[in-house]
Structure 1
């Protein structure tokens, strides 16, 4: 086994398993910083040992063992005993069903779902739960998470660091909740799964596999809980969105330019079935139900050959009324700009808070509306700004092409 091959395996393992290994290492104490430090040391040892001795059959298990041994050395040290007893470090609380240490390492998706519910503990600050799950369980870094929340990368990094220290100091137990506690934690888990999908596809290079795993987690969560409408709605949303994920090669195609004949009819039918399971007569739809219904309207073009823009306008208006996130408000402005007037859509965009400037879709939609108004110079600047905020080369190429077309 060459050093280069060993390094490649270590890199692939870090990309696929870093988040869940950190969460497993944090199980005894809730000390995420210690888990990250010891795992980093394990990776350093791997880069020294694997080129010489060969890559182990189970790289995840090897790294976990080395990192746990380092943790145990620290727990036994006199310096650590002065700060926290070993008994306190391994006290996982009375509401445990199963310690994370006992989870089957080969059942990756199920383990990740369990860890998501762990990180949705009600004692963890609400504004930290989803970023924590995205980092500690799903493996995204603070810069990627910051983009999703339209906040500066430094601010998100500090939020995560402070949050991890509060978890450690408060000794919040990293244990799997009982079935009866899961509905209380469900909203944060759904947000994290949705965040994983939106971060993974199309912005990340390995987004297809991560997006597929997010869809799997959404469907698994819905089936696990059985009668939670928003869980079924998220399963519908990600399934319907995945049905249209057919961009050929490395070329990015906006929705209106995609050929519906290339969409996955099986996934469309599956997503529509999930959406029907989310319906509750006489009950107002939730956020994910509305977003899934929006996806269903787009997918219906595969049957009708046309997009029902009036229905989209109604659904987006309802969505921003109950979940006025930056993303939903940008999408609402785009639809209003198409169904009513570009000027009205642009006015909605300009009314958004200053955080809009860090959101790539804001600049892309703004460029499109400005182009429709004939303000080509301003549209070119907007498309260039959107391009600089995109991490996907195909999206960047598309935006730069739009800018070039308007410049000519």
Structure 2
């Protein structure tokens, strides 16, 4: 039983690295995924008897590589593929026998997933599943859609890749800026997906952001994304009090924010501003920077945040920006102004968007629209995954019921 748990942990931790390492050599997504699946089955059969190997990732690569070679032989692989097989064999032997750290090819794999033939809408979900090992249900939550719908879309895109015999190639240097946004979106979505867990996925997202910065050091949006993630990460411990109760950002104790992470975030944002090319991640980071300044000024400059959201909406409109602007306007001016903006958002966009209903409940409560507030809180509670958030919203709703 213990060995099975170890294999599960390795699967969560190593899947993306193993897949990415094999893909950059083999370039057939479906074949590699099948081979890795067979490798993990072999591990489940072998490791309980022989013990977990010292280098489990190299062991899995070796097992998967054998499956790929067997498949190539059955399909009478062409002579042109033989050098790849030989190179993979040599690399695997080197990884197994030396002290070399397992190479992290996930960044390259992300760029491979931005191939022009892949539907732009599906590039980020494909990266999240294939490179970072996030399941379809969590991806669906990030994209505010049903898990079954997301699963079907991912299955279709992989079938399309297989049917079109799409070969994964790295983009040329001049192509990278055009394909960068999908990679940034994936790293940000991974960070958001890891926000409510123990932080391991969030840490991986920050690591990949820093890896990306070394890869393309002149792209200001990478700096902006890192600033955004680090500002959010600096406040992780303050999101809950000593008893584990959820604490919204505006009520958090600033002394619990990580000053080192905040300063690091500010340095990235300053570096981004020097490029003179503003982007959505820089604007989102700037919003978090204004929140961070409460620790020194003692107040939140909501007017500045509202203005930044206006810029974000012009550049990259979306439900998150619309809701954020409504919240900022309500705080900067009056709750009724925020409600007007909130109610102007197309209903289809917010059916399953928890922040919308949480904010609606809050603003309706402030304006004594009791029934609307209770209804909105009920929707928000039902859409909340985090138990502490559900409890917080339940307390807010209870205050209305007690008062009336």
Does structure 2 conserve the Cα–Cα contact (< 8 Å) formed by 1:359 and 1:389? yes
More displaced stretch, 285-294 vs 343-352:
343-352
**1:190 match: secondary structure:** helix
Match in the other structure for 2:371: 377
Q: Measure how far apart 1:265 and its partner are.
A: 1.5
Distance 1:231 1:383, change over 3 A: same
2:226 paired with 1:235: yes
Distance across 2 between alignment mates of 1:329 and 1:109: 41
Q: In structure 2, which of residues 279, 291, 294 is the aligned counterpart of residue 298 of structure 1?
A: 291
User: Contact 1:197 / 1:214 at 8 angstroms: preserved in 2?
Assistant: yes
Q: Is the 8 A contact 2:17 2:104 kept in 1?
A: no
Counterpart CA distance in 1 for 2:186 and 2:125 is: 7
* Structure 1 residue 227, shift from structure 2 partner: 1.6
C-alpha separation in 1, matches of 2:101 and 2:286: 32
Structure with larger RCO (C-alpha < 8 A, sep 6+): 1
CA contact (8 A) 1:230 1:288 kept: yes
Q: Which of 371, 391, 396 is residue 402 of structure 1 equivalent to?
A: 396
Post-superposition shift, 1:150? 1.3
> Aligned ranges for residues 307-346 of structure 1 at < 5 Å?
307-346=300-339
Identify the match of residue 116 of structure 2 among 102, 119, 122. Answer: 122
Matches within 5 A, 1:89-238: 110-202=104-196, 205-206=197-198, 208-238=199-229
Corresponding residue of 2:256: 262
The C-alpha deviation readout for 1:275-325, integer Å capped at 9, x for no partner, is 1111147x4621111111101100001111110011001001111111112
**Pick aligned residue for 2:60 from 60, 63, 83:** 63
Cα distance in 1 between the residues matched to 2:230 and 2:68: 40
- Count the aligned residue pairs: 391
**Secondary structure in 2 matching 1:345:** helix
Distance 1:404 1:175, change over 3 A: same
Distance in 2 separating the partners of 1:131 and 1:295: 25
TM-score (norm 1): 0.86
5+ long unaligned stretches in structure 2: none
Gaps of 5+ in 1: 93-97
Matched, 1:32 2:23: no
Q: Map Cα deviations across residues 49-105 of structure 1 (whole Å, 9 max, x no partner).
A: 22222122222222222223223222322xx45xxx44577799xxxxx99x96997
Equivalent residue for 2:340?
Answer: 347
Kindly state the Cα deviation for residue 406 of structure 1 after the two structures are TM-superposed.
2.8
Taking the aligned partners of 1:89 and 1:341, their CA distance within structure 2 comes to: 66
Taking only aligned residues, the RMSD between alpha carbons, in angstroms, comes to 2.8
Equivalent pair of 1:31/1:165 in contact (CA under 8 Å): no
